Structure 1
Amino acid sequence: MALHVRGTVLPDDEVRDLWLVADRVTFEPVRGAETIADGGYLVPGLVDAHCHLGIAYGTRPIESLDEARDLAAIDRDAGVLALRDAGSPYPYPELDDEPGIPRLARAGRHIASPRRYLRDIGVEVDAPDVAAAVTAQAKAGTGWVKLVADWIDRSVGDLAPSWDASTMAAAVEAAHAAGARAAVHTFSEEGVLAMVRAGVDSVEHGTGLTADLVDEMARRGTALVPTMINIKTFGGIADRARGRFPGYADHMIALRDRFPAVVRSAYEAGVPIYVGTDAGGGIRHGLAAEEMLTLHEAGIPAAEVLASASWRARAWLGFPGLVEGGLADLVVYPEDPRRNLAVTRHPDRIVLRGRVIR
């Protein structure tokens, strides 16, 4: 049955009637449609632009499709109706078009340097094999490749790049040649510098960014997904490492403490910023609203945060919003989330693929 909703449609900020027919939006009246919302604010379904359905809480690979479904359902029930999986050790292409879970944009497995990433999560390769690994993982994903540009190097006791700059540039080139975009995990100053200059499409975390580099990202159109609620966990990482690697521990604390200013400077420079939680591993699913509030606390206006979590992120990933012929994914809030982002914690209605979730 067709559905009917009426309310203030964002981002246009107009009170309008929408009809949802199968998985599409239309502004043309549909006779006999069931009205499911009359009033409030209609927002294109939210996006978590950095999560991991293939990694269970505690940083272990999932063992079944049902585990991935359950994690995706947590996000769905929070109004997050599209996900970019930024690396999964467990393949789940069967879920790409499953009606009951959010829309998916997926990377394959993380590509990392040997013994320089989380155990059992990534494909670990030395420099000569990186480009070939990128090509293979581009085929395993749906338009994205995930590179791990830095991690702790225990031989030096601190963060260090995974490979040299020429290898990183070759990795990005291989991703683009395979028709994929390249997302890069990076904490360190050296790693993010090399990857931005290599032409990566999105920087994940990006704690090592500098003022000059955010200006370069803005010129290039390189996106930033800062995962701020994950960066807050750096204190625990530092505590566990301090006994053996005090320099690394101090570095992680310094990166954490200056990160809100880094994110604010990226916004002010015009870097495209998207909302991602890094759910999977050490962060629970369903926390996009908390990431949004944290971005706002860092100095990004609420209206800009909402755009980065909704219609801008959907456009970036190829999931049209509430336009004629757009996808029938929407969330209804009782008040304007541009004025009160906390309302995103408690949606009144959730519709995914034209079907009422709540």
Structure 2
Amino acid sequence: MLPEGGTRDVWISDGRITFEPVEGARTLVPDGFLVPGLVDAHCHPGLGTGGAVTVAEAVRQARTDRDAGTLLIRDCGVPMDNRPLQQRADLPRIIRCGRHLSLPKRYIPGLGLELDHPDQLPAAVAAQAADGDGWVKLVGDWIDRSVGDLAALWPDDVLAEAVRVAHEAGARVTAHVFGEQALPGLVAAGIDCLEHGTGLGADLITELARLRIALVPTLINVLENFPGIADQASKYPTYAAHMRALHDGVLDMVAAAHEAGVPVYAGSDAGGLVAHGRVVDEIEALHRAGLPAEQALGAASWAAREWLGHPSLTEGAPADLLVLDEDPRQNLAALRHPRSIILRGRAVQGT
């Protein structure tokens, strides 16, 4: 049973884990490696390549994630109301983040809520905090076509006020950020998490570690899609070169963040350019970036669950788990072939 590594009998009663024998229980699997259900901490159930999708398509997306072992999703911003997915017992648990907060022409069209003026950000954050499940998503930077490169969206004082408002409402704040320019303001504002973070350098990595600011690097998205984004940006050669440089340095950046003690978590960025059901690809990418296999797995399982306030394999915890034939700490590819996936105490795949 991971992460402790011990061997013990586990029962499920009323959808929850117990270590006390349950009379009349049916044996689901006689042995195996138990892993707390996988976590995709940057996922977009409800987003497609053309923007918002139907509820039926969002259900299909979430089912694809579930069948890959993802049983907890931190929705990192979608342009549709995906609350109907939360009401279905056959789909992963979803922590809703609401809408991206951006400015006109400074993010993907139709995806975020576009504010007319930066000073509106604190009020918009308050509204998103009230409507979501404890997270608010900002667009920290995007291409500014007037300068031909990535540039920050928000003044530092506005960011600080927005984060303060979120924290007073009991919500945490995360931000999409690719380049270097926006990072100091986000960190100084007291942000809780950075998405992508490709522009992080040594000084800010040290600060993230000191402040325990989380990093979700979305490696498969960066590694697979940044070159194509650069190729399509021939009108903006400075931006294109910048995106290629960020791509080339991302594995070293994640390695440095991990070595410094920054909390790193797995997020596939599924939706849009990345297909759903790829959390294991992200775990393997974190391992390639220098995280030991057990820590790469924890970044998408027990460590991520603790960060998001969801228990793992403990007495009374919801029975959301994978049963594997092989120890995934020795072979991460074992995660691709679970003997059983158990969600809310019921097997949704396997025997």
TM class, shorter-length:
over 0.9
Q: Does the CA contact (< 8 Å) of 1:59 and 1:280 recur in 2?
A: no
Cα deviation per residue 1:171-230 (whole Å; 9 max; x = unaligned)? 211211221100110001011221111111110000010111111011111000000001
The TM-score with structure 1 as length reference comes to 0.95
How many residues end up aligned between the 2 structures?
A: 347
* Pair 1:252-2:243 in alignment: yes
Which letter does structure 1 place at the counterpart of 2:342? V
CA distance in 2, matches of 1:145, 1:287: 24
Give the 5 Å matches for 1:196-235: 196-232=187-223, 233-235=225-227
Say if 2:286 is the partner of 1:295.
yes
Residue of structure 2 in register with 1:157 after alignment: 148
What do the CA deviations read for 1:40-95 (whole angstroms, capped 9, x no partner)?
A: 21000000000001211x14111x32222111100100111000000011012233
CA distance in 2, matches of 1:22, 1:158: 54
- The answer to whether 1:26 aligns with 2:18 is yes
Q: Does 1:102 align with 2:92?
A: yes
User: Counterparts of 1:158-177 in structure 2 under 5 Å?
Assistant: 158-177=149-168
* Aligned residue type for 2:171: A
SS in 2 for 1:190: coil
Could you tell me which amino acid in structure 2 is paired with residue 123 of structure 1? Answer: L
The unaligned stretches of length 5 or more in structure 2 are none
- Of 41, 50, 58, which residue of structure 2 is paired with 1:49? 41
Alpha-carbon shift at residue 333 of structure 1 (Å)? 1.3
Provide the secondary structure at the position in 2 that maps to 1:188.
coil
TM-score by length of 2: 0.97
Does the aligned pair in 2 maintain the 1:97–1:103 contact within 8 Å? no
Distance 1:254 1:135 in 2: 36
In the alignment, structure 1 segments of 5+ residues that lack a partner are: 1-8
How far residue 280 of structure 1 moved from its aligned partner, in angstroms, is 0.5
What's the counterpart of residue 122 of structure 1? Answer: 112
CA distances 1:94-128 after superposition (whole Å, capped 9, x unpaired): 33242111111111100012110011110111211
* Aligned equivalents of 2:256, 2:152: Cα separation in 1: 24
Q: SS in structure 1 opposite 2:254?
A: helix
Partner SS state of residue 15, structure 1:
coil
Cα contact 1:59–1:282 (8 A) shared by 2: no
Please point out which of 251, 255, 261 is paired with 1:264.
Answer: 255
Query: Which residue number corresponds to residue 92 of structure 1?
Result: 82
RMSD: 1.0
Percent of pairs identical after alignment? 52
Equivalent pair of 1:292/1:309 in contact (CA under 8 Å):
yes
- Whole-angstrom distance in 2 between the partners of 1:349 and 1:239: 42
Greater strand share, 1 or 2? 1
- Structure 1 outlier segments of 4+, above 4 Å: none
Structure 1: distance between partners of 2:108 and 2:114: 10
* SS at 2:247 equivalent: helix
